[in-house]
Every structure is written in C-alpha cells, then in structure tokens.
Amino acid sequence: MRPATFRRLLNFWPPFLFNSIRVLELDEDWSRARVVLRLRPWNRNYVRSQFGGNLFAMTDPFWMLLAMHRLGSDYYVWDKAAAIDFVSPGREDVYASFHLTDAMAEELRTAAAAGDKVLRWFETEVTTATGDVVARVRKQLYVRLKPRARTP
C-alpha cells in the first residue's frame, strides 16, 4: 500500500479519529512520519491538559510501521517494550516526529543478518508547536530475519 493511502486510512482508524490524532506526513520511502494530537474537550484530562494515554497512543505504531516497511517482508518487526516520561502539561496541540534513517535501517539489517533477534530502542519527543517538550516516549522494537530469508 502506498504511504499516502495508508496515512489517510490511519486518520480514519478509530483510536486516532476519536482522539483527534492525525497523521500529517508519511514519506513515500517510509522514512519519516509526523503526527499531531489536537487538544479537544473530549480528550483532555481533569486538569485540562492532554490525556496521557493519548500522548502515548499518538506515538505507538510509528517506529514499528516505519521499520516494517523500510526493512521489507523478510523481517519480523514487533513492538517489544515502551516507556513514557511526562515532562510538562500539554495544554495545546502537540506533535511527534519519527525519522528512521538509512543508517538505522542498515544497522537493523546487519544486526539481524544471521537470524538473531535484535532489540533496539527508539526515542521520540512530543512537543508543542513552539518546541516545548511535553513527553518523551521510548519504544523498543524486536527485529528478526525470517527463516526463509536466512542463508545457511
């Protein structure tokens, strides 16, 4: 599926649609994604800031999706672990950007070449439009070359 089509579908995915999360950009080569979480009356918490679950949800699938598409169908790619550090209240729309560089993708391919499992952490900052950090999210991916693609 083309990234532009996938981006549109993600924007209608209920966990994103009903929580005011929008995928703004998804590069044609699956190297970058940019997401916004709009602050709305139905997605803020008791103290009128961004609900922490939505801050995490806006970042949840992207490292895995980018890695899956950059590495190709010869690899298993799964989320393994995650952590979020709430830095300051998000009292406005917030943004997250993801960039899986060529070097990162090649590092994963090289580490998984023998069929070993690879665990790698990726970090994302959730920020306001002016760059103030609201949260830091860490995601650990599991990557492994599928048996059919391994050389004996």
User: What is the residue extent of each domain of the chain?
Assistant: 3-149
Check residue 98 and give its pLDDT.
98
Architecture of domain 3-149: Roll (3.10)
* Structure-token pair, residue 3: 């990234």
Quote the CA–CA distance of 107 and 121 in Å, as a whole number.
12
Check residue 151 and give its pLDDT.
84
Check residue 152 and give its pLDDT.
76
Quote the CA–CA distance of 2 and 9 in Å, as a whole number.
11
Residue numbers in the chain where pLDDT is lower than 50: none
Check residue 24 and give its pLDDT.
98
Percentage above 90 pLDDT, the chain: 98
* Nearest in space to 44 (alpha carbons), one of 91, 96, 95: 91
Q: How far is Cα of residue 105 from the mean position of the Cα atoms in its chain?
A: 15
pTM for the full model? 0.94
Rg (CA), the chain: 16
Q: Which residues pair with 141 in a beta bridge?
A: 79, 120
| Residue 120, Cβ density class (10 Å: 0-12 exposed, 13-18 middle, ≥19 buried) | middle
Taking a C-beta distance cutoff of 8 angstroms, is the pair 119, 72 a contact?
no
Amino acid at 53: G
Check residue 50 and give its pLDDT.
95
Check residue 136 and give its pLDDT.
98
